[in-house]
Amino acid sequence: MKRVLITGAAGQIGRALRKAWHGKYLLRSTDLAPMTPVSASEECIQADLSDYAAMAKLMPGVDAIAHFGGRSIEGTWEQILPSSIVGLYNVMESARLAGVKRIILASSNHAVGFYRRQSTLTSEHAPRPDGLYGVSKAFFEAMGSMYADKHGMTVASLRIGTFREPDQPDNERHLMTWISHRDLVHLCECCIEAPDYHYAVMFGISNNTRARWDNTRAYAIGYRPQDNAEDYAARVAGKAEDDLSRQFHGGFYIPDGFTGDASMIP
């Protein structure tokens, strides 16, 4: 059985992965917050991502890392720097030195939030972040690309759309961006099990009728999403976006602190 290290294990996505994976993988789970083991064999270790020595201790014997820890919403530089920037470096570098060969990075649609919504985004679209949180995810993608090229690691950067508890879309934008729990778990399994794919940016979305992101790279490693946000369209009807949000992929992150000139953004 492969040993998988899950960071952010106490968070929404971490909990879903642990629930799905006990019995499938040997789990080593870490978070700043306390966790209750999902099985007798799960190792739960409380640690801060910004502590290099603590991260290095987690690495021996690990086959793959699912890195879902860190700041998961917009925040100040002081909130983002230690957990997401320093934390990502600590995980990548200590993983490399321990010989870990495969890592999944939780990027976000907010790494490409300032693209206009008329354009369908692909894995080849360079980052165009819509805030400091999005910038931290662009850093994830740059680090993943570099560790693949320079050190031969297999790295997936997942531009996740909307993963929610409860497991359903909550507004009209989510009809484009939603990913169900089982689809996210399956996508991560593809990232761990597929033959080496070097470095790939993929989108963390279900099989949504209204999707505006081309997920060819995920399909290439075997991703076959089962859910479609459209099934919830009637439920979220009328929960629309404001004029600025609906122009760009990043949605409601766009007006947050916006002092620019939208007419100048191509």
Ligand X SMILES: NC(=O)c1ccc[n+]([C@@H]2O[C@H](COP(=O)([O-])OP(=O)(O)OC[C@H]3O[C@@H](n4cnc5c(N)ncnc54)[C@H](O)[C@@H]3O)[C@@H](O)[C@H]2O)c1
Smallest gap from residue 98 Cβ to ligand X (A): 18
The answer to whether residue 228 forms part of the interface with ligand X (CB under 6 A) is no
**What are phi and psi for residue 233, nearest 5 degrees?**
-55, -45
Nearer to ligand X, 100 or 134 (CB): 134
The answer to whether residue 59 forms part of the interface with ligand X (CB under 6 A) is no
φ/ψ region of 23 (left if φ > 0, alpha if ψ in -120 to 50, else beta) reads: left
Contacts of 144 (CB under 8 A, 6+ apart): 92, 103, 105, 155, 156, 157, 199
Would you state the structure tokens that stand for residue 56, as one six-digit string? Answer: 């290095």
Tell me which of 21, 68, 114, 199 binds ligand X, using CB under 6 A: 68
Instruction: Using the rule CB under 6 A, give the single segment among 3-11, 112-120, 167-175, 186-194 that binds ligand X.
Output: 3-11
CB atoms within 10 A of CB 119: 12
Please answer whether residues 67 and 156 qualify as being in contact, where contact means their C-beta atoms are separated by less than 8 angstroms.
no
Tell me which of 21, 66, 83, 155 binds ligand X, using CB under 6 A: 83
The answer to whether residue 74 forms part of the interface with ligand X (CB under 6 A) is no
Nearer to ligand X, 25 or 163 (CB): 163
Would you state the structure tokens that stand for residue 123, as one six-digit string? Answer: 């894995």
Interface map 106-135 toward ligand X (x if CB under 6 A): x-x---------------------------
Residue type, 22: H
The answer to whether residue 250 forms part of the interface with ligand X (CB under 6 A) is no
The answer to whether residue 160 forms part of the interface with ligand X (CB under 6 A) is yes
* DSSP secondary structure code for residue 61 in this structure: T
Tell me which of 6, 11, 80, 186 binds ligand X, using CB under 6 A: 11
Any idea which residues carry the catalytic annotation? 133
Across the strands, what pairs with 121? 213
* Cα R_g (the chain), whole angstroms: 18
Tell me which of 17, 29, 66, 70 binds ligand X, using CB under 6 A: 70
In 3D space, the residue among 258, 219, 254, 249 whose CA is nearest the CA of residue 130 turns out to be: 254
* Binding residues among 16-55 for ligand X as defined by CB under 6 A: 31-33, 48-50
Site residues (vs ligand X, CB under 6 A): 8, 10-14, 31-33, 48-50, 68-70, 72, 82-83, 87, 106, 108, 160, 162-163
